[in-house]
Structure 1
């Protein structure tokens, strides 16, 4: 399935508005360095409704926490259900959400802007170059510094800019280039996704896994536990028939492996009789559970990035997008381009990756 028509229309509208703004608006470009001493309240704007795109903020959030440890960080995102992932992170204060229906109600939108502006931000960051909603929000939010990328053909409301990092391919790592705007920017920052799970949260995940085993009368012993997630958007989705055969061949090669099928919220279909199944409404709780697994296998989808950010080694199956741009970033994460491969070939590469990860850990 390709991109829906309404998504294509939205892209065309955004592109047209951007061209008009670039043509008719004048913007003074400020290349000054920002002193961190006077930065105490920060707002990061990423009005997006996808899990993965919001988790892509975590390298930037963690870098800012390291760079400006005294600052409180608020975040403005799209979907409320994603907020629990970010809320407990170090230095994160408030996670605001902008439901799609809010964009259609100007009075409620004005009220939300007033609420956010009451925080008196020192710095607003728009980490995505071409986001029209983020640029408009940056324009509406009051702050001394408004930081973003400069690109000749892209309109921005930022008053402090850094050049867009064309040589950085991965979407989660591009925002780190914004750290160039600060004085003394020679610190090294992590290139991994990380939602800062606490030790208590990891213990909570282990407890949830033990409860699942007890419920199904399973004794783990030293078995390898692999979580899978079968859902994905549009052309990235892999058919259930493929997953059923994939699980079958994994278990043929190693019957001791325990497969846990992590179900999407609206999915109740069990595709293999030897796999367990579990579902979580709260995404942070899902991340806690993922941290207790040995491996996680899925297509290019939001839970892939959540798993990586939770510390479980991920083996990502790519069939429509580029792993260089959207792949998992953990030290022990791996990706497989499954286009043109048989299921047996994917299984073979999966076991080779498992062996390699076990060797390196």
Structure 2
């Protein structure tokens, strides 16, 4: 499908005139994807839109059922327009989602992933005065060293687009990933943590699982886990389990298991650092805005690295266990 829609939509061809930020009242952000990580990765864009257009409401066009969970407490988010995760199984609801999108009128519509065929199609079809497809005539990677990051380039693209239609936009730091928690949720997370490990110690949170080739072997984790125990005797070492309820360290550490995404985030919020491979859970820890030590062996660090809050991405193919331990120590400082 991407080859069929690669030439679909061009911001310069459809946008005429100058945008007035005071008149932007309705904004659409399109990311028709169901994966947790991909939805978390557009939260910086949502925050950017909230900052640029504080009086606007935001509709989000996605797939699946995670949108209300991820965007809860984002006060500007008005409506989540959903396509079913498996559209061939729910063709009626799939068509209803597209028709609902078509009925709305927006002042600004933004494609959050320039490489998404369905994202570009949605912006082409929607009724909007200004449309940001995400394509750029200018190579922004030469201007911004972190442009390749999947959570950051949509913000850079939006800023570049808005400048092209007459809006003054400052190059402030890109917002971090964020899942907005209530004080009650954070307090519940602390109670859950304190029920598992002593509250007198800070907690290093391990996530030993990942999908496919991103998952490190049992043997790899055995060596790393033993070294973590040796280097951090004054910390609780706890493992957060995946939905599959498996452990690459054979459940050697105290464990926490939940399928509640917001509860997991609140649990993370009360720990000192997250250590784990590139995964949706890693991005969830980043959205809790705690330090994250992301372990990479097959995916690109410049595209998926955790950032903010003393977070760091480590290519384990090019570093040693000494580097990994030092990264944890740096994040705890």
How would you bin the TM-score normalised by the shorter chain?
0.7 to 0.9
Residue number in structure 2 paired with 1:18: 5
Q: Secondary structure at the match of 1:48?
A: coil
TM-score by length of 1: 0.80
Residue 335 of structure 1 pairs with residue 310 of structure 2: no
Residue number in structure 1 paired with 2:276: 298
Residue number in structure 2 paired with 1:159: none
Structure 1's unaligned 5+ residue stretches are: 1-12, 153-162, 214-218
Contact 1:90–1:196 (8 Å) recurs in 2: no
Residue 264 of structure 1 pairs with residue 242 of structure 2: yes
Residue number in structure 1 paired with 2:260: 282
Moved beyond 6 Å, runs of 4+: 24-27
Give me the whole-angstrom Cα distance separating, in 1, the residues matched to 2:72 and 2:59.
Answer: 9
Residue number in structure 1 paired with 2:23: 38
Residue number in structure 2 paired with 1:188: 172
Structure 2's unaligned 5+ residue stretches are: none
How far is the alpha carbon of 1:105 from its aligned partner?
4.9
Q: Secondary structure at the match of 1:179?
A: helix
Q: How does 1:95-114 map to 2 (within 5 A)?
A: 95-102=80-87, 105-114=90-99
Deviations 1:66-105 (CA, angstroms, capped at 9, x unpaired) = 1111111121122313541222224222233322322565
Contact 1:193–1:309 (8 Å) recurs in 2: yes
Residue number in structure 2 paired with 1:179: 159
Residue number in structure 2 paired with 1:166: 141
Alpha carbons of structure 1 residues 169 and 268: separation in structure 2 relative to 1, 3 Å: closer
Contact 2:11–2:131 (8 Å) recurs in 1: no
Instruction: Select the residue among 179, 184, 209 that pairs with 2:193.
Output: 209
Q: Secondary structure at the match of 1:259?
A: strand
Instruction: Select the residue among 48, 72, 77 that pairs with 2:33.
Output: 48
Q: Secondary structure at the match of 2:66?
A: helix
How far is the alpha carbon of 1:340 from its aligned partner?
5.5
Count of residues paired in the alignment:
324
TM-score by length of 2: 0.86
Deviations 1:266-324 (CA, angstroms, capped at 9, x unpaired) = 22447345411112212122111111001100111111111112111111111112222
